[in-house]
Chains A and B, each alone.
Chain A
């Protein structure tokens, strides 16, 4: 199993450009998440999807849109990138089983907006 995969690993955008970050998991998990991590601020939830076909806003949703394409895939779109969106983006999934403690994280996407 590959676990949680993210593409791309690195990306540089100019202000106003758009892009989509891709995330896929092969563990048959229901819940998937998008976080951003900035220096000194820990992880902040952007959006999450509790199941296929549903999405909900997290703590910092402004400037982002998401799509839960199917059970495996959860994408994050920046329609008009801003320098404030320079960050490391992590996708995660959670099995929602009794005793399943952890969220499983992808390797991250390092995004720079100039």
Chain B
């Protein structure tokens, strides 16, 4: 199993709907998780971080962490065309506070 795994997509969602992005992880990563957004040709930017089991909300974004099932998800409510991007899930390697391990990313397309 890869340390951090994502479905590459593309995931196509109608404008105004909820987009749901998922990430599974192995025991080789720590319990700190990050969602980054990356527009085509640009560098990644942090959207959300989550450390505790449960939900964390920030505006239209909600991160969910389920440690028992080893998955973390990102929900985007009222999806906008500007949300179209690749979303990267990342976590620190369990034996290193310096090394982030990245999923391959899910490409999200919001259809007007």
Contact = CB atoms under 8 A, between A and B. Distances in A.
A103 interface: yes
Interface stretch (B10-18, B37-45, B68-76): B37-45
Contact of B102 (A42, A56, A94, A106): A42
Given A31-B98, A44-B102, A48-B98, 10 more contacts: A41-B104, A42-B4, A42-B103, A43-B90, A103-B100, A105-B43, A105-B44, A106-B43, A107-B42, A108-B42
Nearest to B44: A105
Interface residues of A, number: 21
Mostly, the A contact residues are loop
13 contacts: A40-B104, A43-B44, A45-B100, A56-B98, A58-B99, A59-B99, A90-B43, A101-B49, A103-B100, A105-B44, A105-B45, A106-B43, A108-B43
A101 B45 CA distance: 11
A58 B93 CA distance: 11
Contacts of B102: 42-44
Contacts of A56: 98
Interface string A75-112: 00000000000000010001000000111011110000
A19 to B, nearest CB: 20
**Top 10 nearest A-B pairs by Cβ distance?**
A105-B43, A102-B46, A42-B102, A43-B102, A42-B104, A101-B49, A42-B103, A108-B43, A42-B105, A50-B98
